[in-house]
Structure 1
Amino acid sequence: MDFNQEFDQHGAWRRQFAQRLKQLSEWLTEHELMDAGVLARLDQLQSQVKADKVMVAFVAEFSRGKSELINAVFFAGYGRRIMPASAGRTTMCPTELGYDADVAPCLRLLPIETRLQPQSLLEWRSAPQEWERIDLDVNDPAQLAQAIEKVAEVVRVDQAQARALGFWHDETPEDNPLPGPDGLIEVPRWRHALINMAHPLLKQGLVILDTPGLNAIGAEPELTVSLLPQAHAVVFILAADAGVSKSDLTIWREHLAPAAERIDSRLVVLNKIDTLWDDLSTPEYIAAQIQRQRESSARVLGLSEDQVIAVSAQKGLLAKVQQDPERLAASRLPELEQALGEGLLGRRKRILQGVVSDGIQELQRETGRMLHAQERELVEQLQELEGLRGKNATVIRQMRLRIEQEQAEFDSSGARIQAVRSVHLKLLRELFGLLSTTTLKTEVAQLAEALKKPGIKFGVKKTYGESFDRLRDVLQRSQKMGEDIQTMLVNSFKSLNVEFGFSLQPPAAPDLKRYRDDLALIERNHVQYLGLTNALKLAQPEFAERLARALMSRLKAVFDAALVEVEAWNKSAAAQLDGQLRERRRNFTRRIEAVTRIQTAASGLDDRIGELTQTSAALSATQVRLAELCAQLLDDTVPEATSTTPAAEAEAPEQPA
């Protein structure tokens, strides 16, 4: 199964899950089981599945056939090239292809001059008026391809402008572009491009990142320290006849070499194997040549051999357009698509389903606790009413007085319960403060100042280490504070259970360990970026400022995610207490109403016992149905594809939603 078919099945699973989650939400609302805690869990699950994106980044030095490979894998259904892939330099700026249903199909281009300002790319995304916009007709391949050609545009500037934009470095003249006869230097016209289109794969959550060569990558720190590390897979393209060149190795070492735990997220493509096809050589000799290049490239890059795949993107694209299976097999493109599908999507699916499974089980536990509390109240009412059989009016009147007294005592205990809430909220405010943006800015202020200093940033790696140590300590303290709050909740809930007969069970405390892992990844990405080459660039204040802003954007995302998890935990605990308080008050009202009916009608006792018995049976049925709905969601079997449409047809243009 190739990447397109695998992704189609992944999308089918996500759509089916979203539909089942919607059914569960409607059912919970209908049965009055939707409290704040359950709603927070549902919202979290819905956002995790809806916002699940799979980013594949394609990275290569110029003239390696990167854009042609993207055309072959994703856009062959258009019957022509969509990404510019002519001779010479093509994609001159980082280009993201994705789909947002709230935005009409368009190409947005950020002018290169924005590099002269300190805002990060993330900040520029929030200023759409600063981007040039071109509407796209996804059903007109010619218009689409013509519009996207703009990502290859360049402008000619003098040395001073090139230096300010990050494309000219006096310290490393051998890496500078060659000036033209007029002394002007060619640089990209655009800093970043966003393509929004309703391609079937993009609609299902695929994001494609097409990056330019080494010079452009190094000039945009946010690309290296933010976008590329967040990609779920990085496809690094080499030339099959040359293998790993010096500039290829520089890109790999400075920007792509992964940590051990992420090594399987890298695929290397030896492109243009058709240049090795030779009528004077036997097929066996050609295959042996390709195999030697695979082995050599894997050894140099520190990968396993099966992570290096040899293809001909140009022949693969041609074979798909002409529907030539023999040529497609010779291009070896299906091998790459299979590796992307089974490797990338397999890992992503397992991660997503693991997170979803944990969320569903916690949701079931929370809802189950609510049903259990209702069941206890019913059992107590039935036992109470069964004890009235054969009793006279005096006993029934005394029963009513006792219930009213219990209600009064319960109402007067509000201060005791409020004290628990007050202590809980006080501790939570401290925890929220630890994870706030203000704390984050304070802890990285020293690093930000170090990056802004003019000249070579001696000792900046040490400053990075110290800053990240402080951030890890913040998360560690947050974890400890969360555990302290959890201990307080356990003791408080236990006391309330004894005093009021509640069945409160605190939800599991948030585990912030994975956010410390995120910090470690960010630190590695930045320290890797601080090599000698980039140290010279960091001497430029504007470049260092962009790096500092990129760092702050990523750190804020991590701390915001941790804060969301803590808030969900808080809502779950608070909602459980609110729910049982509400149910107890309702129970007092129902008990008094039942005694009143018994006092005024001879058949009232039997009628009320019958009603409660029916309610108990309905509650049992509700518990069974909840288990069924959650079991459906927990089923981790990806549904079989409902269509046998070939991959090439699945890539065909589609009318935007």
Structure 2
Amino acid sequence: MTKHGIIDDFEAYSEWRKQVRNVIKKYRDIAKAEDLTNAHSEQRLNQIISTLNDDKLYIAFVAEFSRGKSELINAIFFSTLGKRVLPSSAGRTTMCPSELMYDHDFEPSIRLLPIDTRSTGTSIQEYKNMPEEWSDYPLDIDSAEQISEVLRHITEVNTVKPGHAENLGLHITSDEGHEDGLHIDENGEVEIPRWRHAIINFPHPLLDKGLVILDTPGLNALGAEPELTLNMLASAHGVMFILAADTGVTKSDLAVWRDHIIVGELTSRAKGRLVILNKIDVLWDDLRGQDEISDEIKRQVKETAKILNIDEKMIFPVSAQKALTAKIRNKNKLLNKSRILELEGALSDMLIPAKRDIVTDTVKRDMAEMNLSIKLVIDQRLAGVDEHIAELDGLSSKNVEVIENMLLKVKADKEHLERSLQRFQATRSIFTRQTVALYQYLDPKAMEITIANTRKNMKISFTSRGIKKAMTKFFASVYEAFNSAAEQSNEIKELMQGVYSKFQEEHGLVNIRPGGYATRKYMREIKRLEQSSERFVKTTSLVMLDQGVITERFFDSVSSRIRQIFQKANKDADNWLKTIMSPMEAQIREHQIQLRRRLESIKRIHKATDTLDDRLAELKYVRDGIIEQGDKIKHINRKMEKILAKEEDDEESRVSA
């Protein structure tokens, strides 16, 4: 079966990422062999490699039911298997959000989280670390029938009393014509999904290379599970919004688009978003000419663009069902008529370069810090050897008095350094106190108190005004914590700047300036959550707000994300504190080694165990070795630059593992 569009491009991206990972491994091995790294820098390099190993590309597919969403996923990604992977039939098929991925640590299976876990207030992300809470059904990858049968679990429903559904935070509407909410049947009961979330672990080549597909089941699920909008959709690299040509843009479609996809962006340039007008085959008619059919499709595209307030170029009319049939049966004419290839090309052009740019920028930034650290070590080694060569060059003969004076000078330098280190230890106690204060501001446990108080205040008043007031106070506390952390980190930076300057002045160490701890990225994410909270209060009906469980679920999702931000900020602060000390400690270590070598060298000359010429020759050999160390690092950096620039010269750009 011939591969199409995004499949080829994603595999090329995966190969490029592998090359980047391998060249960084080579860099790490060279730096370690030449003793140019310490424990912290080795850990940092291993983190970069680990990140490249675990790099994921998330694509979310969002639609109301009966828009052909599951069939579109099958057509784009799974046609090479010659069968449908996701259930696809008339009516509602996907009842719970599903993630398609592949993790080698698990057997092929579908893991299902029961809907009743919604009553606990625990997020889906947190449940992912609780395997005992999931129901696990193995997949037989050699049996298409067994896979199809097992995956039907995601379509399962439970029939319950309305009160039970409301306790789970599911909205019930009495208006039969209203699409937002569950409807009570003639027996006074409602159908709810049996499962809250599904993880399908499937050994597909693209999933194995890091593709993750999020399949969401529509407005009811998005409204009832705020974590989807706040975390999963927000972090997706691409979001595909599917409409159907036979229904047009319905009221619920528009609600999904405005409240869960563009979420405050300028719709004219909503980045990473594509709109798919599916089921164009309903417009195919043997009694109408091809031009007439094309004009009708263009009319629908134009009308859709106007309603959604987007550029027509963002809309792709397709027939997913015909595309899947054409790919499986090798019908090129039908494939072209389905227009799926245009969508795949746009999807690839939008996602792959953007993702590669993110990886490139991250690697360049991290490796620039690593190169600076290694350059400082090499420069210091060269400066030390050059200084010692200059000392010995000044000896025209083995003058005992001159050598003894030189010996005394090196001993004095060594004692001076030891006194400076004693003062440095006193400074470290101040540094420790300030780092403790920084950790306190970013302590996830301290934030739990704020979360608990906010939840208590929200329970007192479930009016829109009361909820808004509680959320405003909550975010003010979060901002205060990060503003205090920023001020504290600046104090630490200034303290270390003073220490650096003192050592540079007294001992001639290389002039470097410690970097700062950046809180801006966390503040941006917090601001996004705050805007989502304001939108929730504004767009959610008073009836739903009065149904306290829905509001509680929303706050659970917000607080879960805030916890993750604090945990990440705490971890990043830990890395920063190690980084800010590491260059100083590395320079001091090198300076101590050089003083010890100078002392030993002069002692040997003084005792006549070495001639002056022998020692000078030895030092020049050492100097050549240090220059060679720098050349090795420069050479591997040039290879890395070529790979990051995606140059085609395989001999230069490929580095074996």
**What residue number does 1:379 align with?**
386
Q: What code does the residue aligned with 1:217 have?
A: L
Aligned match for 2:560, one of 553, 566, 589: 553
**What residue number does 2:655 align with?**
none
Q: By how many angstroms is 1:443 displaced?
A: 4.7
1:258 maps onto 2:263 in alignment: yes
**What residue number does 1:192 align with?**
197
Equivalent-residue separation in structure 1 for 2:546 and 2:639 (angstroms): 57
Equivalent-residue separation in structure 1 for 2:37 and 2:107 (angstroms): 35
**What residue number does 2:300 align with?**
293
- Aligned residue for 1:502, secondary structure, equals coil
Q: What code does the residue aligned with 1:54 have?
A: L
Q: By how many angstroms is 1:37 displaced?
A: 4.0
Aligned match for 1:212, one of 205, 214, 217: 217
- Aligned residue for 1:293, secondary structure, equals helix
Per-residue displacement from partner, 1:592-618 (whole Å, max 9, x unpaired)? 221232133364322221111111111
Q: Does the CA-based 8 Å contact 2:160-2:191 persist in structure 1?
A: yes
TM-score of the two chains, using structure 1 as the length reference: 0.92
TM-score of the two chains, using structure 2 as the length reference: 0.92
Q: By how many angstroms is 1:176 displaced?
A: 4.7
1:88 maps onto 2:96 in alignment: no
Q: By how many angstroms is 1:561 displaced?
A: 2.7
Q: How does 1:561-580 map to 2 (within 5 A)?
A: 561-580=568-587
- Judging changes above 3 Å, is the alpha-carbon distance between structure 1 residues 78 and 86 closer, same or farther for their aligned structure 2 residues? same
Of 352-361 and 326-335, deviating more is: 352-361
Equivalent-residue separation in structure 1 for 2:290 and 2:413 (angstroms): 91
1:617 maps onto 2:624 in alignment: yes
- Judging changes above 3 Å, is the alpha-carbon distance between structure 1 residues 176 and 443 closer, same or farther for their aligned structure 2 residues? closer
Equivalent-residue separation in structure 2 for 1:25 and 1:168 (angstroms): 54
Aligned match for 2:355, one of 339, 348, 351: 348
**What residue number does 1:154 align with?**
157
1:516 maps onto 2:523 in alignment: yes
Per-residue displacement from partner, 1:398-421 (whole Å, max 9, x unpaired)? 322332233233223332121232
**What residue number does 1:598 align with?**
605
Equivalent-residue separation in structure 2 for 1:3 and 1:639 (angstroms): 20
Equivalent-residue separation in structure 1 for 2:242 and 2:546 (angstroms): 31
Aligned match for 1:637, one of 631, 645, 649: 645
Q: By how many angstroms is 1:362 displaced?
A: 1.3
Q: Show structure 2 runs of 5+ residues with no match.
A: 651-657
1:29 maps onto 2:32 in alignment: yes
Q: Does the CA-based 8 Å contact 1:451-1:548 persist in structure 2?
A: no
- Judging changes above 3 Å, is the alpha-carbon distance between structure 1 residues 217 and 260 closer, same or farther for their aligned structure 2 residues? closer
Q: What code does the residue aligned with 2:36 have?
A: L
Q: By how many angstroms is 1:7 displaced?
A: 1.2
Equivalent-residue separation in structure 2 for 1:505 and 1:224 (angstroms): 44
- Aligned residue for 1:458, secondary structure, equals helix
**What residue number does 1:305 align with?**
312
Aligned match for 1:223, one of 206, 211, 228: 228
Equivalent-residue separation in structure 2 for 1:493 and 1:139 (angstroms): 63
Q: By how many angstroms is 1:14 displaced?
A: 1.2
Per-residue displacement from partner, 1:159-191 (whole Å, max 9, x unpaired)? 332332334536767455444554432221111
The RMSD of aligned alpha carbons is 2.3
Q: How does 1:166-181 map to 2 (within 5 A)?
A: 166-169=169-172, 174=178, 175-181=180-186
**What residue number does 2:127 align with?**
124
1:477 maps onto 2:484 in alignment: yes
Q: By how many angstroms is 1:128 displaced?
A: 0.7
Q: Does the CA-based 8 Å contact 1:12-1:641 persist in structure 2?
A: no
Q: Does the CA-based 8 Å contact 2:464-2:537 persist in structure 1?
A: no
Equivalent-residue separation in structure 2 for 1:392 and 1:465 (angstroms): 79
Equivalent-residue separation in structure 1 for 2:411 and 2:398 (angstroms): 19
Q: What code does the residue aligned with 2:646 have?
A: V
Equivalent-residue separation in structure 2 for 1:460 and 1:178 (angstroms): 27
- Aligned residue for 1:260, secondary structure, equals coil
- Judging changes above 3 Å, is the alpha-carbon distance between structure 1 residues 361 and 154 closer, same or farther for their aligned structure 2 residues? same
Q: Does the CA-based 8 Å contact 2:65-2:92 persist in structure 1?
A: yes
- Judging changes above 3 Å, is the alpha-carbon distance between structure 1 residues 234 and 433 closer, same or farther for their aligned structure 2 residues? same
Q: Does the CA-based 8 Å contact 1:63-1:88 persist in structure 2?
A: yes
Equivalent-residue separation in structure 1 for 2:259 and 2:323 (angstroms): 31
Of 182-191 and 18-27, deviating more is: 182-191
- Aligned residue for 2:213, secondary structure, equals strand
Q: What code does the residue aligned with 1:152 have?
A: T
**What residue number does 1:322 align with?**
329
Q: By how many angstroms is 1:641 displaced?
A: 12
Q: By how many angstroms is 1:23 displaced?
A: 1.0
**What residue number does 1:650 align with?**
none
Q: What code does the residue aligned with 1:478 have?
A: A
- Aligned residue for 1:511, secondary structure, equals coil
**What residue number does 2:55 align with?**
52
Q: Does the CA-based 8 Å contact 2:377-2:590 persist in structure 1?
A: no
**What residue number does 1:537 align with?**
544
- Judging changes above 3 Å, is the alpha-carbon distance between structure 1 residues 640 and 560 closer, same or farther for their aligned structure 2 residues? farther
- Judging changes above 3 Å, is the alpha-carbon distance between structure 1 residues 467 and 34 closer, same or farther for their aligned structure 2 residues? same
- Aligned residue for 2:148, secondary structure, equals helix
Of 89-98 and 371-380, deviating more is: 371-380
Q: By how many angstroms is 1:440 displaced?
A: 3.0
Q: By how many angstroms is 1:391 displaced?
A: 3.2
Q: What code does the residue aligned with 2:100 have?
A: L
**What residue number does 1:649 align with?**
none
1:77 maps onto 2:84 in alignment: no
Equivalent-residue separation in structure 2 for 1:189 and 1:421 (angstroms): 57
Equivalent-residue separation in structure 1 for 2:476 and 2:189 (angstroms): 46
Q: Does the CA-based 8 Å contact 1:454-1:539 persist in structure 2?
A: no
Q: How does 1:435-450 map to 2 (within 5 A)?
A: 435-450=442-457
Equivalent-residue separation in structure 1 for 2:521 and 2:462 (angstroms): 36
**What residue number does 1:12 align with?**
15
Aligned match for 1:110, one of 93, 102, 113: 113
- Judging changes above 3 Å, is the alpha-carbon distance between structure 1 residues 539 and 121 closer, same or farther for their aligned structure 2 residues? farther
Of 227-236 and 1-10, deviating more is: 1-10
Q: What code does the residue aligned with 1:637 have?
A: A
Equivalent-residue separation in structure 1 for 2:537 and 2:640 (angstroms): 45
Per-residue displacement from partner, 1:315-373 (whole Å, max 9, x unpaired)? 00011101122111110101111111111222222122112211111111111111111
- Aligned residue for 2:418, secondary structure, equals helix
**What residue number does 2:290 align with?**
283
- Judging changes above 3 Å, is the alpha-carbon distance between structure 1 residues 130 and 578 closer, same or farther for their aligned structure 2 residues? same
Q: Show structure 1 runs of 5+ residues with no match.
A: 643-657
Aligned match for 1:364, one of 368, 371, 377: 371
Q: What code does the residue aligned with 1:96 have?
A: E
- Aligned residue for 1:80, secondary structure, equals coil
Per-residue displacement from partner, 1:261-286 (whole Å, max 9, x unpaired)? 67122111100000000011111111
- Aligned residue for 1:267, secondary structure, equals strand
Of 218-227 and 327-336, deviating more is: 218-227
Q: Does the CA-based 8 Å contact 1:52-1:205 persist in structure 2?
A: yes
Equivalent-residue separation in structure 2 for 1:403 and 1:213 (angstroms): 75
Aligned residues: 642
Equivalent-residue separation in structure 2 for 1:452 and 1:349 (angstroms): 45
- Aligned residue for 1:410, secondary structure, equals helix
Q: What code does the residue aligned with 2:30 have?
A: W
- Judging changes above 3 Å, is the alpha-carbon distance between structure 1 residues 9 and 388 closer, same or farther for their aligned structure 2 residues? same
- Aligned residue for 1:93, secondary structure, equals coil
Q: What code does the residue aligned with 1:76 have?
A: S
Per-residue displacement from partner, 1:565-606 (whole Å, max 9, x unpaired)? 332222122122221222222222212221232133364322
Q: Does the CA-based 8 Å contact 2:184-2:190 persist in structure 1?
A: yes
Equivalent-residue separation in structure 2 for 1:552 and 1:168 (angstroms): 21
Q: By how many angstroms is 1:542 displaced?
A: 3.5
Per-residue displacement from partner, 1:91-116 (whole Å, max 9, x unpaired)? 11000111222222211001112122
